[in-house]
Amino acid sequence: MLDQSPVSEGMTGGQALRNTIDLAQFADALGYHRYWVAEHHGGPSLAGPSPEVLIGPIASNTERIRVGSGGVMLPHYSPLKVAESFSVLGGLFPGRIDLALGRASGTDPLTTFALQRDRREVAPDDFPQQLVELLGYLNDDLPSEHPFARLAKTLPGRPETPEVWLLGSSPQSAIWAAEVGLPYSFADFINREGAGIVEHYRKQAEDPHVSVGVWTVCAETDEEAERIASSGAMMMALLRQGRLVPVPPPEKAMRFVASQPGHRPS
């Protein structure tokens, strides 16, 4: 289960985060295997900018489910800092922590720039190098001549390490996952044309493991499912127009969807 910690209209961010913990407990009781929390910045609709902060409370309030990031947007961070944070979590919750990594910013360009520590210029696009360095810390296999090699042995959670995944919705992410030998989680809810991308990963990876993220709406009837889904439909339609809003209630969203050109009543 991937939780983006949605903030409904009239709800505070704190309430949304507590809902995330409640949902994680429910997923744990139902027997789900993994519970991942996402990273998004600078908007009113999602309350999850810091998966590394949220994972600990979720793991503390559940019993056996794996808890992780879906994902940490690595370009914002130092690979060492990410390795340290997830080593702490791994040490506290042995065998239960996942670290799924993404390349996307999880926000708009202005917020991406605000997240940078050094704002003298735009940060370089060096994700492959960041990924290799991060794995070197976690696996303690940085070359001996690497200037930071000794730091790998200082990770506080050793011998525990998180299970690392690579997120993606493009052919390039599949190539990287295969090259560095990581499990691959494909975002079908972003790109519905992923079958060929995943197949390429399966053929190229030495030991392929794949998960697929899909939007799912559950209800007793199709009509109720469509009613619930209208909230997300309205939010995404406004997002494409550059309008960021909290998640609207279904009744309001259904009126909005019905007013859109090309809408066909079901």
Residues 163 and 259 in one domain: no
Give me the CATH number covering residue 53: 3.20.20.30
Answer for the pair 233, 226: CB distance below 8 angstroms, yes or no. no
Which residues, other chains included, contact 150 with Cβ-Cβ below 8 Å and sequence gap of 6+?
Answer: none
Number of structural domains the chain divides into: 2
Residue 46 to residue 9: CA distance in whole angstroms: 11
Q: Which residue has tokens 């000794």?
A: 150
Residue 39 to residue 51: CA distance in whole angstroms: 6
Q: Final residue of a domain: which of 168, 188, 213? A: 168
Quote the pLDDT of residue 211: 97
Residues 12 and 135 in one domain: yes
Residue 230 to residue 250: CA distance in whole angstroms: 6
Residue 54 to residue 17: CA distance in whole angstroms: 8
Dihedrals φ, ψ of 100, to 5°?
-95, 135
Residues 73 and 153 in one domain: yes
Residue 75 to residue 262: CA distance in whole angstroms: 39
Q: Final residue of a domain: which of 168, 193, 213? A: 168
Residue 166 to residue 74: CA distance in whole angstroms: 11
Answer for the pair 87, 157: CB distance below 8 angstroms, yes or no. yes
Q: Is residue 205 part of a domain?
A: no
* Nearest of 197, 179, 178 to residue 187 by alpha carbon: 197
Residues 129 and 38 in one domain: yes
Q: Is residue 20 part of a domain?
A: yes
Which residues, other chains included, contact 236 with Cβ-Cβ below 8 Å and sequence gap of 6+?
Answer: none
Which residues, other chains included, contact 179 with Cβ-Cβ below 8 Å and sequence gap of 6+?
Answer: 204
Cβ-based neighbour number of residue 223 at 10 Å = 10
Q: Is residue 258 part of a domain?
A: yes
Percentages helix, strand, coil for the chain, rounded to the nearest 5? 45, 15, 40
Residues of the domain holding 107 = 2-168
Q: Is residue 210 part of a domain?
A: no
Q: Final residue of a domain: which of 168, 186, 204? A: 168
Q: Is residue 194 part of a domain?
A: no
Which residues, other chains included, contact 116 with Cβ-Cβ below 8 Å and sequence gap of 6+?
Answer: 76, 122, 123
The predicted model scores a pTM of 0.92
Q: What is the pLDDT along the chain (266 residues), one digit of tens a residue?
A: 999 999 999 999 999 999 999 999 999 999 999 999 999 999 999 999 999 999 999 999 999 999 999 999 999 999 999 999 999 999 999 999 999 999 988 888 899 999 998 988 888 899 999 999 999 999 999 999 999 999 999 999 999 999 999 999 999 999 999 999 999 999 999 999 999 999 999 999 999 999 999 999 999 999 999 999 999 999 989 988 889 899 999 999 999 989 988 666 55
Strands 163-168 and 97-102: parallel
Residues 245 and 155 in one domain: no
Q: Is residue 71 part of a domain?
A: yes
Residues 74 and 144 in one domain: yes
Residues 251 and 161 in one domain: no
Residues 164 and 226 in one domain: no
Residues 227 and 161 in one domain: no
Residues 111 and 227 in one domain: no
Quote the pLDDT of residue 261: 80
**Exposure string over 58-72, b if 16+ CB within 10 A, otherwise e:** bbeebeebbbbbbbb
Residues 141 and 230 in one domain: no
Environment class of 104 (CB within 10 Å of its CB; exposed 0-12, middle 13-18, buried 19+): buried
Residues 156 and 240 in one domain: no
Which residues is 37 bridged to in the sheet?
A: 3, 69
